Amino acid sequence: MLTEVLDQDGGELEDRQVIRYNSSTSDVTALYIDRNGIVTLSETIEPSTSQKCLVHKVTPDGTDAPEVKNYINRRRAHIKYTGVNSAGIIPESMQFDNELAVPVRYVDARGVTAADNMMYRLDDPEVGFDEVITLTDVAEDDIWIVELEG
């Protein structure tokens, strides 16, 4: 059983809207809502279109609570991911999860040196829909900045 709360910070709990559904126990499931407000579940994860919007993806985790990935649905969404290559290797500090609900149209990757705060250009990473992106060319202790637009 999964509960999605649609409310505002500081709002009255009695006024909130809740969508509650049972997701599959073994399959990844996506929640979509269409133009008419009809909510559907699908085992196929596809980008948002003008007809239906990808809200989130539920990935079962055995007996633990499922992992839920929410998507950003906004016209010409522009988001920025940042991090620091603190270990000089390719751990989680060099990865981010693409949260755009549509295919990426624009990628800009830059680094900032730790020693003198000089900005430099990174090779733009391969960014696919609904993927974890890994950067490989950031020097140790440098800050990385990746901007995506959908």
- The ranges assigned to domains in the chain are 2-70, 78-149
* pLDDT, tens only, 44-98: 889 999 899 999 888 887 777 788 888 888 888 899 998 888 765 556 667 888 8
| Long-range contacts, 34-43 (Cβ 8 Å, 24+) | none
Q: How confident is the model at residue 112 (pLDDT cuts 50, 70, 90)?
A: very high
pLDDT above 80: residue 17: no
Predicted local confidence at residue 3, as pLDDT: 47
Predicted local confidence at residue 121, as pLDDT: 92
The span from the CA of 127 to the CA of 132, in Å, is 8
State which H helix or E strand residue 148 sits in. Answer: strand 143-149
pLDDT above 50: residue 1: no
Q: Hey, what are 22's tokens?
A: 């049972």
- Whether residue 58 contacts residue 1, with contact meaning beta carbons closer than 8 Å, is answered with no
- Whether residue 119 contacts residue 110, with contact meaning beta carbons closer than 8 Å, is answered with yes
Quote the percentage of the chain above a pLDDT of 90.
22
Q: Hey, what are 3's tokens?
A: 């509960």
Interacting residues of 90 by C-beta distance below 8 A, sequence separation 6+? 134, 135, 136
